[in-house]
Amino acid sequence: MTPSGKCYGHGHAHPASYAASLEGVDFEKMWRELAPVGRYDATGGYRRYAYTPAELECRAWFREQAVQRGLDVETDRNGNMWAWWGDPSAGGAIATGSHLDSVPDGGAYDGPLGVVSAFAAIDLLRANGFTPSRPIAVAAFAEEEGARFGIACLGSRLLAGAITPEAARALKDDDGVTFADAMSAAGFDPDGIGEDNERLSRISAYVELHIEQGRAQIDMDAPVAVGTSIWPHGRWRMEFTGRADHAGTTRLDDRADPMLTYANTVLAARKKARLAGAVATVGRIACEPNGTNAIPSRVRAWLDARATELSALDETLDGLKEATLARAERDGTEVSFTQESYSPEVIFDADLRQRVSRAVGSPMELSTGAGHDAGVLSARMPTAMLFVRNPTGISHAPNEFAHMDDCITGAHALADALKELAT
């Protein structure tokens, strides 16, 4: 059993007392306030893209939660938000939180569950009379999904020095708006972005709670799990260039049709991934000029590829590039691969993982193919992750779901972890 007398590891139905023991904490109130922000009614999914009105409204919600709790709230030079319980200059802080931005038509939980749970955990600790001996911070990292500017975990990468300010400023969204212009338009200073060693030096560990993006916990009947690792994964932009021409009057043999090379590449990606034991996805495509009766001049498509082993990821990419170049040769088209975002395998800090695991009752452990800010920050500090059961196993889609009592169990677990680390 854990300090709070709760047991998270074995998935027993949670006594209604959990909801009662959240007195002073209104998890559901926070959830209800945030839920409508950036929700696209036609699909039920979320469109909270970095520095767009919906995401700025999420930032206002974050600020409100912090102010209501008397936490000092700030936005750092990289657009990441922080709410401090205690004086950050004391150093040795324990940070927790996640992100508020979403993928296109994403679910309600991916990101926000970690931020709401962080505020709820602070409420729980305060309701139980706990005073931390070191500062605790709730963080909401910017552009974690890379849905607008293409690079995952852009805010935490900038903080950690994992991407140069110049490269970040030049990133463009689908409308050609640069990251620099988007930051400026939202009232932030793009000239200030970059590695923030002073801030990093004040934080001794980061614990991120996240909805599970798979089915392991429902199959193991575990409401809470502890993360062990994040698979290596990346994103590559593929550009297929051909010759625009008339769809009706151009003989098949006279065509250099980039759509054909692209189509074969998608099939080859699935085949190479299956053979290598990896996963590969093409979910985003841009066709120019995108006319019904015109052979395209160019097709751009983005590959997301991941694997438990780096060798499997490399094998998938190498095999795909070879197959695609051969096909382009046949089609008379050109193809280029550009790596846009890459995250090496992350093995979470063993000591921190054990401390967190013990504090929450040693629940099941989980490796994940999903990237997180905790993965990026693990290069600069010990990080750990807690996962909350997702009965659908679905994520990055409107049907992503977690039962409220599992969410509350997760908030209790996070509170126990923070209590262990901040004592």
Q: Is the dihedral of CA 392, 369, 46, 174 positive or negative?
A: negative
* Binds 371: which of ligand HGY, Mn ion, none (CB < 5-8 Å by kind): ligand HGY
Question: Residues 370, 377, 408, 417: which binds ligand HGY (CB under 6 A)?
Answer: 370
* Binds 81: which of Mn ion, ligand HGY, none (CB < 5-8 Å by kind): none
The answer to the question of residue 86 lying near Mn ion (CB under 5 A) is no
Site string for ligand HGY, 386-415 (x = CB under 6 A): ------------------------------
Contact (Cβ atoms closer than 8 angstroms) between residue 337 and residue 322: no
Site residues (CB under 6 A) for ligand HGY, limited to 64-93: none
The answer to the question of residue 111 lying near Mn ion (CB under 5 A) is yes
Q: What is the tally of helices (H) and strands (E) in the chain?
A: 14, 17
* Binds 406: which of ligand HGY, Mn ion, none (CB < 5-8 Å by kind): none
The DSSP H or E segment spanning 99 is: strand 93-99
Q: Is the dihedral of CA 311, 317, 320, 326 positive or negative?
A: negative
The whole-angstrom separation of Cα 42 and Cα 420 is 44
User: What is the SS3 string spanning 154-221?
Assistant: HHHHHHHCCCCHHHHHHCECCCCCEHHHHHHHCCCCHHHCCCCHHHHHCEEEEEEEEECCCCHHHHCC
* Binds 152: which of ligand HGY, Mn ion, none (CB < 5-8 Å by kind): ligand HGY
Q: Is the dihedral of CA 68, 71, 72, 75 positive or negative?
A: negative
CB of 222 to Mn ion, least distance (A): 19
Structure tokens at 168: 């970040």
For 316-339, the DSSP string reads HHHHHHHHHHHHHHHHT-EEEEEE
* Binds 132: which of Mn ion, ligand HGY, none (CB < 5-8 Å by kind): none
Residue 116: closest CA among 25, 196, 42: 25
Contact (Cβ atoms closer than 8 angstroms) between residue 356 and residue 417: yes
Residue 11: closest CA among 370, 350, 391, 367: 391
State the helix-helix crossing angle for 27-34 and 112-127, rounded to 10 degrees: 150
**Residue 97 vs 371, nearer CB to ligand HGY:** 371
Structure tokens at 192: 């200030």
CB of 210 to ligand HGY, least distance (A): 9
Count, residues near Mn ion per rule CB under 5 A: 2
**Residue 111 vs 132, nearer CB to Mn ion:** 111
State the helix-helix crossing angle for 27-34 and 404-421, rounded to 10 degrees: 110
Question: Residues 50, 152, 225, 295: which binds ligand HGY (CB under 6 A)?
Answer: 152
CB of 145 to ligand HGY, least distance (A): 5
Site string for ligand HGY, 371-390 (x = CB under 6 A): x-------------------
Question: Residues 76, 110, 331, 400: which binds Mn ion (CB under 5 A)?
Answer: 110
CB of 144 to ligand HGY, least distance (A): 6
The answer to the question of residue 144 lying near ligand HGY (CB under 6 A) is yes
* Binds 196: which of ligand HGY, Mn ion, none (CB < 5-8 Å by kind): none
Per CB under 6 A, the segment of 144-152, 162-170, 271-279, 291-299 that binds ligand HGY is 144-152
CB of 337 to ligand HGY, least distance (A): 19
3-state secondary structure of 227: strand
**Residue 227 vs 371, nearer CB to ligand HGY:** 371
* Binds 238: which of ligand HGY, Mn ion, none (CB < 5-8 Å by kind): none
The DSSP H or E segment spanning 374 is: helix 373-377
* Binds 111: which of ligand HGY, Mn ion, none (CB < 5-8 Å by kind): Mn ion
* Binds 34: which of Mn ion, ligand HGY, none (CB < 5-8 Å by kind): none
Question: Residues 123, 143, 145, 257: which binds ligand HGY (CB under 6 A)?
Answer: 145
Q: Which residues bind ligand HGY (CB under 6 A)?
A: 144-145, 152, 370-371
Which positions lie near Mn ion, rule CB under 5 A? 110-111
